[in-house]
Structures are given as structure tokens and as C-alpha cells.
Amino acid sequence: MPLTPAQMDRKIDEHFGFEARDDVEGVLRTFTPDVEHDIVGWPTGPTRGPDAARPFYETLFSDLSDGQIRCIRRLYGEDFLVDESVWNGHAPGRPFGLDGRGRPLQFRLLHVVEFAGTGDIRRENVWVDLAAILQQLPQD
């Protein structure tokens, strides 16, 4: 049976909650063992499996802090959702290769998430508004 929108919401909200707490292990537990993890533009390209996704989250959590996600809208299909959100926080590290210097940062995100029948995430595809990040973190 396909997942309901409420079931998909629970899982993606759990995933985002772990991200907000910089909880790498929690994030990875929301994935299937063969998850395809694709942050568009990330140097490794798509990865397969939670262990291969780990370095991304370790880097992300050191580069960004105090993150909060505000959902703009979600669209649902059979066992997938599209989530448009805004991330707000600070950039103490080098997010996306840019020197953050602890500056405040806000950018849009688009997640395309596919779910397995178990309710876990089997594919996460993320698009980041890099133009907004570049405007807020100009490099001298």
C-alpha cells in the first residue's frame, strides 16, 4: 500500500528534526540501507547507502549552525513528496566552499524524497539556492 501524506510528513519531519539537532546518526537512521543520497552540485555526486551519506552531514553540521527549516509547501505523489522550504541559521564554517565567518544565512531548498514501503527514505534529492547563498556570503 502506498504511504499516506501524513506518513510521509512524519518521516521527513523526523529527518529534518535530526538535521536541526546536528544528529548525524539520527539522520542516517531515516534512510534505507541502499538509499540514494543526491545533493545537487556536491562534489561526490550521488552516493549510495547511509555510510556514504555520512561525510555530507558531518561537513554540513560543521559548516552551518542554529538551523531552522520552515516549510513553504509540499506536493505528494505515490510514495514521494516534494518539499519547498527555507533554511535560516548561521554559517560558522565553509558552506558550499564559501567562507561563512559566522554570518546569518537564509536560503531556499527543494527536496524530492522517495519512500520505501517501510516508510524510510530510499532517495533524497536536494536542490539548494546557491545564488542566494553567494549574495549573503560574499568573498572579499
Summarize the confidence of residues 74-86 as an average pLDDT: 98
Q: Are 100 and 93 in contact (CB under 8 A)?
A: yes
pTM for this one?
A: 0.94
pLDDT grade for 104, boundaries at 50, 70 and 90: very high
pLDDT grade for 101, boundaries at 50, 70 and 90: very high
**The dihedral of CA 105, 24, 28, 43: what is its sign?**
positive
Structure confidence by residue, pLDDT tens digits, 111-123? 999 999 999 999 9
Q: Hey, what domains does the chain have and what are their CATH numbers? A: 5-136 (3.10.450.50)
Structure confidence by residue, pLDDT tens digits, 81-100? 999 999 999 999 999 999 99
Structure confidence by residue, pLDDT tens digits, 46-58? 999 999 999 999 9
